Amino acid sequence: MTTLVEVQDISKSFGAVNAVDGVSLEIDQGQFFSLLGPSGCGKTTLLRLIAGFERPSSGHLLIDNKPMDGVEPNLRPTNMVFQNYAIFPHLNVEQNVAYGLRKKSISKIEKEEMINQVLELVGLSELNLRSANALSGGQKQRVALARALILKPKVLLLDEPLSALDKKLREQMQLELRHLQRAVGITFILVTHDQEEALTMSDKVAVMFDGKVEQVASPRELYERPTSQRVASFIGAMNFINGTVMEAKNEIGINSDILGPLTISRSQVFGDLTENKIIIGIRPERISIVSDGSSVTGSISGRITDASYFGETTYYKVACGKGSETLTVSAQNSFGQMDYQIGEEVKLNVDIKSLVGFSD
């Protein structure tokens, strides 16, 4: 895979605020790359730096090995799908889609053909002459996509493109976008604050906090092996348990109130173990509830204190150990799954292999 976009130690400050703070990234050709983070983490600023709407305070950007210092947005091989779509209200669908074709020396017939092709690609055939004001949110988004894709950019930048759509349409568009990206083979860079969206759509995700990139990884790695507590709690739900390091060699021995003594591999622990304190993270679905009677070795006793029903899943809060600490446990409401009542005494089985440890 060749690197298409190279962000080299880019910073951008607005007054005293460092919106982007020393970010370096490499994005491969044909990749679906997401910038994920809470609002105000600098992900949109980074996208605008790549598009050329902002100039970096320091650092460099290369697209296809060409430096982009001082290159205006209209001369970059990037196109953008704006958060509010930015559809030109005085033009109809066809005119919007053809907007960027002005400079290309192509015949009218060819142009017409390109427009129809791209409209078909985004699922808007036969709407060529509809006024921009008569479009729904989802249709506007498709026009914005078509308008950018028709120019065959090297990189397509998407700034929270799905945030204005309702849940059903959003999920449908996530799939469509992914299919579209595979079909056209263009590198997509997506900005989103929705972790589910980032996980389902991307090949690679960069998680950003306070202007810095905290972790760049594939969705699976990000979810299963988050390198910091911040990333772990931002993506999905995770139980954090305070523990003490008893032994730190290739294997790490940990003791904690809730889980008791256990041993995990060094590769499951992130950060330097300078102190003997450690925080253990475990996803709710990596704990299973077994009824009180059927005791398995190594299982933990607890009592259900709360149950939240989410349809396909139920989240239980289970009080364990001597203290008042509780673990969140999720149970798929699949065939044969038991229902537990609040107050019920249960045993928990923990998947030790999926534990992660953080030194901070």
Q: How far apart are the C-alpha atoms of 203 and 210, rounded to whole Å?
A: 23
Interacting residue with another protein among 62, 71, 86, 319 (CB under 8 A): 86
Q: Using CB under 8 A, which of the segments 73-81, 113-121, 299-307, 311-319 binds another protein?
A: 73-81
Binding of another protein by 273 (CB under 8 A): no
Binding of another protein by 89 (CB under 8 A): yes
The smaller minimum CB distance to another protein, of residues 147 and 283, is found at: 147
* DSSP letters spanning 129-145: T-BGGG--HHHHHHHHH
The secondary element (H helix, E strand) that includes residue 112 is helix 108-121
Going by C-alpha positions, the residue among 192, 106, 195 that lies closest to residue 157 is 192
What is the x/- site pattern for another protein, positions 93-132, by CB under 8 A? ------xx-xx-----------------------------
Binding of another protein by 343 (CB under 8 A): no
Binding of another protein by 164 (CB under 8 A): no
Residue type, 232: A
Q: What angle do CA 335, 337, 338 make, to 5 degrees?
A: 140
Binding of another protein by 74 (CB under 8 A): yes
Binding of another protein by 187 (CB under 8 A): no
The smaller minimum CB distance to another protein, of residues 158 and 238, is found at: 158
Interacting residue with another protein among 45, 79, 215, 326 (CB under 8 A): 79
Q: How far apart are the C-alpha atoms of 352 and 251, rounded to whole Å?
A: 13
Q: How far apart are the C-alpha atoms of 78 and 66, rounded to whole Å?
A: 13
The smaller minimum CB distance to another protein, of residues 146 and 222, is found at: 146
Instruction: Indicate if the alpha-carbon torsion angle 126, 132, 137, 142 is positive or negative.
Output: positive
Q: How far apart are the C-alpha atoms of 352 and 350, rounded to whole Å?
A: 6
Question: DSSP label at 179?
Answer: H
Q: Which residues from 129-148 bind another protein, rule CB under 8 A?
A: 133, 147-148
Q: How far apart are the C-alpha atoms of 313 and 345, rounded to whole Å?
A: 20
The smaller minimum CB distance to another protein, of residues 35 and 231, is found at: 35
What is the x/- site pattern for another protein, positions 14-53, by CB under 8 A? -------------------------------------x-x
Tokens 């028709």 correspond to 150
Q: How far is the CB of 56 from another protein (least distance, A)?
A: 17
* Strand intervals (E) in 87-139: none
Q: How far apart are the C-alpha atoms of 84 and 158, rounded to whole Å?
A: 11
Q: Using CB under 8 A, which of the segments 2-10, 72-80, 214-222, 244-252 binds another protein?
A: 72-80
Q: How far is the CB of 296 from another protein (least distance, A)?
A: 58
The smaller minimum CB distance to another protein, of residues 143 and 207, is found at: 143
**CA distances for 347 relative to 281, 287, 304, 307, angstroms:** 19, 10, 10, 16
The smaller minimum CB distance to another protein, of residues 87 and 259, is found at: 87
**CA distances for 307 relative to 93, 284, 319, angstroms:** 50, 13, 12
Interacting residue with another protein among 38, 59, 82, 236 (CB under 8 A): 82
# residues contacting another protein (CB under 8 A): 23
Q: How far apart are the C-alpha atoms of 227 and 56, rounded to whole Å?
A: 28
Which residue ranges make up the site for another protein (CB under 8 A)?
51, 53, 72-74, 78-80, 82-84, 86, 88-90, 99-100, 102-103, 133, 147-148, 151
